[in-house]
Structure 1
Amino acid sequence: MLGYLAARRAGLDDPLRLRRVEATRRVLSLQLNADRDMDRIHANGVNTVDIEVIEGKYMLSGGADGVIVIYDLENFSGKPQYTCKAVSTIGRSSKYAHKFSVETVQWYPYDTGMFVSSSFDKTMKVWDTETLKPAEVFEFEDTVYSHHLSPIARKHSLIAVGTKDPKVQLCDLNSGSKIQVLQGHRAEVLSVRWSPRYEHILATASADSKVRVWDVRRASGCLLTLDQHNSDKSKAASEAVNTAHNGRVNGLCFTSDGLYLITSGTDDRMRLWNSATGENTLVNYGKVSNESRKRRQFTVSQGCSPEFVFVPCGSSVAVYGLHTGELVTMLRGHYNNVDCCEFHPDHQELYSAGKDGNILAWVPVLRGPDVEEESDQVTRLFKL
């Protein structure tokens, strides 16, 4: 690390390189924070978490008990040991609360005054953060597995929704109505994700083993059907046979630049795709345990070089090199299966939650002889 600082001081390296080195070093040193606790509010498992990007201060969580919690991640106590308090809770006592398990929560990308939740009770609710009352409620005929708002959209305000129905629903926040349906999947849609690079591009994953990439401006909709074998068949033929996995596909995540898409399936495999061409990059992550029959939330680091992907793996969180497939480490601390994890890019921290009802914070820690070892690891990875 001293070498990078000296090179920066001498003008041999640009500031971005030093920033990436430091971000990478912090990710490689992630450990369970013994000094930071999270208020335990959920009586059952935690299915989903989301950190707002405006201030990086507030986190949402949704649980199998139908409860939604807003946490303040800042330390106001001034002490090394502190608890992140739950500042608001939509519990069972609220007449507006979801009746069944909350599967996805997400902050509105441009304002912390609003967030969206979806549930097994066949509804998706748009909440006013101040009043903790739904400003809009979308009702569906089937169980809702996943929803997502585009993090960059300026020309539309669509929420993509995946349900037990094979049709992908597009709901408009402005009009409060369902305005479009994307047809192509033949089983329930378990995960949906907008591209962080192009606001009209959407990826969807289904129990039919397929991952489809859509341009919602086109009448035909579907641009690509991802094929794990990179077959050279005609588009008409490949649409029917291409599969991304050999089981249910229940996890989707774009890299922060939108150039790559990571998918996870119940065939215990994770795959990295070129999001523009749909090509399987053939990165081998080995066996990635996945027994979930619903959406699984995993995440990718930001600001690092190389990038890392954090994936729930049993009661641990597995950390892989995104482009190498190398298992870097296993983060162990939960007492039961982990269902979701979220990366905090402002501090290179990770939050994970699962069926034990706990939300754990993983933070960069450097102590004593570990500094030299981790600096050597950063240097080795940077040279790859």
Structure 2
Amino acid sequence: MLASLWARQTGLDDPVRLRRAEATRRVLRLELNKDRDVERIHKSGINSLDIETVEGRYMLSGGSDGVIVIHDLENLSREPHYICKAIHFVGRSHPYVHRFSVETVQWYPHDTGMFTSSSFDKTLKIWDTNVLQPADTFNFEGTVYSHHMSPVATKHTLIAVGTKNPEVQLCDLKSGSCSHILQGHKQEVLAVSWSPRHEYVLATASADSRVKLWDVRRASGCLSTLDQHNGEKSQASSEAANTAHDGRVNGLCYTSDGLYLLTIGTDHRMRLWNSSTGENTLVNYGKIRNESRKAVKCTISNGCNPEFAFVPCASTIAVYAVFTGELITVLRGHYSTVSCCAYQCNFQEIYSGSKDCNILAWIPASQESPLDDISAKSLGHQNSSTAYEEAWSSSDSED
């Protein structure tokens, strides 16, 4: 690292390269932070976490008890050991609390004045953060499994909602109504995710083993249905053709540049897809234990080289190199099934929520870590980490 700092100072190296190297080094040294606790408010399992991207300071959590909590992650006490306080929460006595389990919470992408939540009580609520009351509520006929707002949209305010019904619902914040639906799945929609690259492109995952990509401007809607065999088994029966997994698909996550899509299924497999061509990249991640009947909230790092996927796996979080499939490490600390994790890109930290009612913070170790040896082997580099190699994404070169 000192050599890289010297090379940057003398103008021999690029600042982007140094930033990626340091971010990668920090992710490779993640460990459970014993000096940072997140105040425990939830009385039952935690299903969803989301950290706002404006300051990276406030985190939402939604639980099986219907409670929603806003946490302040900043260390205001300046003490070595501190607690991330719950500054506001929608408790069971709140007049607008969800009646059943909260499955997804998300900050409005552009400021912290608004956030959204969806629940098994068949509602999606738009919350005014300042008064902690719903500004609008959308009601559905079926249980709501997942929802998502586009992180890059400037021309629409649509929220995609996956429910027990096979149709994908699109709710418009401007009109306060469901603008239209996307038809194509045959069973419940378990996960939805807007592309961080194209504001009109949406990915949806269903219990029918299929993952579909949609352009919501098109009359037909569906751009493609991902095929794990890349068309090589087109003569197979119609039931087996064009399936992304051999079981329910309940996990979706785009890479930060939107060029690739990661999917997780109950066939205990994870697959990486080229989001432009719909091609299965055939990266082998091995067997990933996944027996959840609900959405699995995984996340992918941002600004590392290579990028890493953080995947809930039983009571642990498995960390994979996205483009090679190597298992880098396993984060252990929870006592029960991990449901969700959120990545804090400013400081390369991970927060995870579990059925044990705890939210744990994972931060880079300050000392030299044995993970450095693991990373050198797994990333196939003998003398130094691949973090120091030149690797440009399209996001670096775009103006």
| Moved beyond 6 Å, runs of 4+ | 237-240
Cα distance in 1 between the residues matched to 2:238 and 2:111: 41
Seen in structure 2, the aligned counterparts of structure 1 residues 6 and 76 have a Cα distance that, compared at 3 Å, is: same
Cα distance in 1 between the residues matched to 2:334 and 2:134: 33
Alignment length (residue pairs): 383
User: Under a length normalisation based on structure 2, what TM-score does the superposition of the two structures give?
Assistant: 0.93
Residue matched to 1:123: 123
**What pairs up with 1:64-143 in 2 under 5 angstroms?**
64-143=64-143
Residue matched to 1:380: 385
- By how many angstroms is 1:102 displaced? 0.1
Seen in structure 2, the aligned counterparts of structure 1 residues 36 and 353 have a Cα distance that, compared at 3 Å, is: same
- By how many angstroms is 1:28 displaced? 0.2
Cα distance in 2 between the residues matched to 1:107 and 1:229: 36
Cα distance in 2 between the residues matched to 1:372 and 1:285: 20
* Matched-pair identity in %: 66
**What pairs up with 1:26-37 in 2 under 5 angstroms?**
26-37=26-37
Residue matched to 2:289: 289
Which range moved further: 363-372 or 251-260? 363-372
User: Match for 1:25: what amino acid?
Assistant: R
- By how many angstroms is 1:376 displaced? 5.8
Cα distance in 1 between the residues matched to 2:368 and 2:154: 48
Residue 17 of structure 2 is aligned to residue 12 of structure 1: no
Structure 2 segments unaligned to the other structure (5+ residues): 392-399
**What pairs up with 1:1-384 in 2 under 5 angstroms?**
1-231=1-231, 241-368=241-368, 379-382=384-387
8 Å contact from structure 1 (residues 49, 342) kept in 2: yes
Cα distance in 1 between the residues matched to 2:269 and 2:73: 33
User: Match for 1:163: what amino acid?
Assistant: T
Seen in structure 2, the aligned counterparts of structure 1 residues 290 and 374 have a Cα distance that, compared at 3 Å, is: closer
8 Å contact from structure 2 (residues 29, 369) kept in 1: no
- By how many angstroms is 1:9 displaced? 2.4
- By how many angstroms is 1:373 displaced? 5.1
Cα distance in 1 between the residues matched to 2:172 and 2:86: 30
User: Match for 2:385: what amino acid?
Assistant: R
Cα distance in 1 between the residues matched to 2:213 and 2:375: 39
Cα distance in 2 between the residues matched to 1:241 and 1:228: 9
Cα distance in 2 between the residues matched to 1:229 and 1:238: 13
- By how many angstroms is 1:78 displaced? 1.1
- By how many angstroms is 1:365 displaced? 0.9
User: Under a length normalisation based on structure 1, what TM-score does the superposition of the two structures give?
Assistant: 0.96
Cα distance in 2 between the residues matched to 1:59 and 1:128: 15
Seen in structure 2, the aligned counterparts of structure 1 residues 375 and 263 have a Cα distance that, compared at 3 Å, is: closer
Once the two structures are superposed, residues 291-318 of structure 1 have per-residue CA deviations (whole angstroms, 9 ceiling, x without a partner) of: 1001010000011000000000110000
8 Å contact from structure 1 (residues 25, 375) kept in 2: no
User: Match for 1:183: what amino acid?
Assistant: Q
Cα distance in 2 between the residues matched to 1:194 and 1:243: 20
Cα distance in 1 between the residues matched to 2:131 and 2:105: 17
User: Match for 2:97: what amino acid?
Assistant: A
User: Match for 2:261: what amino acid?
Assistant: L
Cα distance in 2 between the residues matched to 1:276 and 1:250: 21
Structure 1 segments unaligned to the other structure (5+ residues): none
Cα distance in 1 between the residues matched to 2:225 and 2:363: 38
2:191 partner SS: strand
1:290 partner SS: coil
8 Å contact from structure 1 (residues 225, 239) kept in 2: no
1:320 partner SS: strand
Cα distance in 2 between the residues matched to 1:296 and 1:73: 23
Cα distance in 2 between the residues matched to 1:372 and 1:286: 22
Cα distance in 1 between the residues matched to 2:221 and 2:124: 23
Seen in structure 2, the aligned counterparts of structure 1 residues 76 and 183 have a Cα distance that, compared at 3 Å, is: same
Cα distance in 2 between the residues matched to 1:302 and 1:239: 37
Cα distance in 2 between the residues matched to 1:127 and 1:229: 42
Cα distance in 1 between the residues matched to 2:375 and 2:9: 18
Once the two structures are superposed, residues 122-163 of structure 1 have per-residue CA deviations (whole angstroms, 9 ceiling, x without a partner) of: 000000001111000000000000000000000000000000
Residue matched to 2:394: none
Seen in structure 2, the aligned counterparts of structure 1 residues 11 and 119 have a Cα distance that, compared at 3 Å, is: same
Cα distance in 2 between the residues matched to 1:349 and 1:368: 17
2:4 partner SS: helix
Seen in structure 2, the aligned counterparts of structure 1 residues 256 and 371 have a Cα distance that, compared at 3 Å, is: closer
8 Å contact from structure 2 (residues 167, 185) kept in 1: yes
- By how many angstroms is 1:192 displaced? 0.2
